[in-house]
Amino acid sequence: MTDPDFGRSSDDPRWQQVLAQSVHYVLAPLILFSSGFFTANFLISGQYTWPRTSRAAALTLTVLVLCYEFVYKEHRTRTGSHEQARAVVLYACVIPYIMGAMIMVALWKL
């Protein structure tokens, strides 16, 4: 017997929608939360060596690319609305980043 889903093309719109939703609501917030945490750790620690500074800069650039390419641009293409795309970036990127940074600051003060 053959599986009807065997060999399904990755161009299937349902698969693309599931992937986009998982990036928006799972992957991006987790990455941004940890990025905010580690960036705040770098800033608070005061140890501004070249390796740590380059890691923080690379992390920041990676986060900006993730937010723009995989969240904002993809959502804007799918919906056609700049306002909705900005709202998704706020909820999927900015808020988790700030939460991660705030948790690092709270832990630092303990």
Residue 5 lies in a domain: no
Residue 47 lies in a domain: yes
pTM across the whole model: 0.82
pLDDT tens digits, 80-104: 889 999 999 999 999 999 999 999 9
Residue 6 lies in a domain: no
Structural domain for 55, as ranges: 25-109
Residue 39 lies in a domain: yes
pLDDT tens digits, 13-32: 788 888 888 888 899 999 99
Please give the tally of structural domains in the chain. 1
3-state SS, one letter per residue, for the chain: CCCCCCCCCCCCHHHHHHHHHHHHHHHHHHHHHHHHHHHHHHHHHCCCCHHHHHHHHHHHHHHHHHHHHHHHHHHHHHHCCHHHHHHHHHHHHHHHHHHHHHHHHHHHHC
